[in-house]
């Protein structure tokens, strides 16, 4: 099935599509057929399609059953070209919160998501789905990138906190939120319905769980004062299933060690810790040829893995994650589906040539259901 852009041209970002009833009907049909074929319940397809056609004629939209929502969200994960963790797509837990319609209730549901997904450290891949945007329901937006995240402050002597969050932090400050100006201050949830003014909600401190970063051998590592939150819950993407746009659908897996150790703490435009670690390791950091950056990266990543293990919080290292992805590729082949992927994202940011993904090419087609970035 080709959508207006042509399935093969689907971009990961762009405006939120507004399908006419004909296009919506087509997208609904192709999803419903796929859904019940995969669930091996083909016999419900015809009557379900008739119901959906009727609903679209009468209301301009249609409503997924809980089963369709669950399987649709799982397919969206399976289709996420940039995700190395897709082996576990079938285990995604779907929390159906479509009945909520106030920012306060939505924030509360986000808090429930955090606790459910955390599960005491044994992290559960989870998505909470709020009401979709339809001709008769307003757009819900969670403006946070993730439900747990640190503020970033531009100060006279440089940036404090996470530089990636400076713009969002400034927005929060301009709307009455006041952070401590520290390196690891939790950001509030910012939730908007339709054209109403967005509302801000602090995340209760007891919900903001973090792992303190220590090293299995170097005692000084703890003195760096590094910490990171336990669950990455992406809240800024639109889930599209069968032509329906769920503009608020926060989802999480667990962390891949390199996301924290080779990017969040290492990137020069993030916490930029490599030089300090290199110096502590005894290197002259003005000299690239010693490969001090590489050594600092390895020790930082060992610290991240060690600390999450000590804290009893699920986290996967990049070698294991890539092995699991190879299993996903074999599973998909057996199921007769082609794996699509974005190699530049699937490759770990360190030791990439040690993984099978390095020698592999992937079809970059963006299939739906999927998760999309929102520009507006
Ligand atoms: N890279 C992002 C971060 O470091 C998280 C993106 C989602 N990651 C995941 N493992 N599901 O916070």
Instruction: Give 251 Cα–ligand 1 centroid separation in angstroms.
Output: 10
Predicted TM-score (pTM) of the model is 0.97
Q: Is 351 helix (H, G, I), strand (E, B) or coil?
A: coil
Report the SS3 class of residue 165.
Answer: helix
DSSP 267: S
**Ligand 1 lining (C-beta closer than 6 Å):** 232, 234, 252-253, 255-256, 259, 264
Q: Can you tell me which atom of ligand 1 is nearest the CA of 253? A: 11
Whether 238 is catalytic: no
Residue 41 designated active-site: no
The pair of structure tokens assigned to 153 is 């402050």
Give pLDDT, residue 153. Answer: 98
- Ligand 1 centroid–CA 232 distance in Å is 5
**Annotated catalytic residue: which of 83, 139, 141, 302?**
83
> Residue ranges per domain, the chain?
2-6+20-149+186-337
Question: What does each C-alpha distance from 80 to 4, 285, 369 come to in angstroms?
Answer: 20, 38, 9
**Ligand 1 geometric centre to CA of 231 (Å):** 9
Q: DSSP assignment, residue 156?
A: T
> Cis link prior to 336 (omega < 30° from 0)?
no
Q: Nearest residue CA, atom 5 of ligand 1?
A: 232
pLDDT in tens, the chain (376 residues): 455 555 545 789 999 999 999 999 999 999 999 999 999 999 999 999 999 999 999 999 999 999 999 999 999 999 999 999 999 999 999 999 999 999 999 999 999 999 999 999 999 999 999 999 999 999 999 999 999 999 999 999 999 999 999 999 999 999 999 999 999 999 999 999 999 999 999 999 999 999 999 999 999 999 999 999 999 999 999 999 999 999 999 999 999 999 999 999 999 999 999 999 999 999 999 999 999 999 999 999 999 999 999 999 999 999 999 999 999 999 999 999 999 999 999 999 999 999 999 999 999 999 999 999 998 7
83 among known catalytic residues: yes
DSSP element (H, E) containing 55:
helix 45-59
Of the options 3.40.50.1000, 3.90.340.10, 3.40.50.20, 3.40.50.1360, the CATH number for the domain spanning 2-6+20-149+186-337: 3.90.340.10
């Amino acid at each position: 099935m080709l959508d207006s852009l042509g399935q093969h041209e689907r971009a990961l970002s762009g405006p939120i599509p507004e399908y006419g009833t004909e296009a919506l009907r087509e997208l609904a049909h192709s999803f419903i057929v796929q859904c019940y074929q995969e669930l091996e319940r083909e016999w419900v397809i015809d009557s379900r399609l008739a119901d959906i056609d009727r609903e679209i004629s009468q209301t301009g939209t249609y409503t997924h059953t809980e089963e369709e929502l669950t399987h649709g969200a799982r397919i969206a994960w399976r289709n996420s070209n940039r995700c190395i963790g897709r082996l576990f797509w079938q285990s995604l837990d779907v929390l159906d919160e479509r009945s909520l319609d106030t920012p306060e209730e939505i924030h509360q549901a986000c808090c429930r998501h955090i606790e459910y997904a955390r599960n005491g450290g044994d992290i559960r891949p989870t998505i909470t789905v709020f009401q979709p945007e339809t001709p008769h329901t307003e757009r819900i937006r969670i403006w946070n990138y993730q439900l747990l995240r640190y503020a970033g402050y531009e100060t006279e002597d440089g940036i404090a906190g996470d530089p990636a969050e400076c713009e969002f932090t400034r927005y929060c400050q301009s709307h009455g939120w006041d952070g401590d100006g520290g390196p690891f201050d939790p950001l509030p949830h910012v939730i908007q319905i339709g054209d109403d003014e967005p509302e801000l909600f602090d995340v209760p401190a007891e919900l903001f769980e973090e792992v303190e970063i220590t090293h299995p051998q170097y005692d000084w590592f703890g003195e760096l004062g590094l910490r990171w939150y336990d669950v990455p819950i992406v809240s800024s993407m639109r889930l599209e299933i069968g032509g329906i746009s769920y503009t608020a659908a926060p989802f999480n897996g667990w962390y891949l060690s390199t996301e924290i150790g080779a990017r969040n703490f290492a990137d020069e435009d993030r916490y930029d810790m490599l030089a300090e670690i290199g110096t502590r390791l005894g290197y002259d950091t003005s000299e690239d040829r010693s490969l001090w950056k590489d050594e600092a990266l390895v020790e930082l990543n060992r610290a991240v893995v060690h600390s999450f293990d000590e804290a009893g919080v699920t986290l996967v290292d990049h070698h294991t994650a890539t092995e699991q992805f190879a299993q996903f590729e074999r599973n998909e082949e057996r199921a007769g589906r082609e794996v699509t992927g974005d190699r530049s994202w699937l490759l770990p940011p360190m030791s990439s040539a040690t993984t099978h993904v390095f020698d592999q090419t992937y079809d970059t087609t963006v299939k739906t259901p999927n998760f999309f970035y929102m520009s507006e």
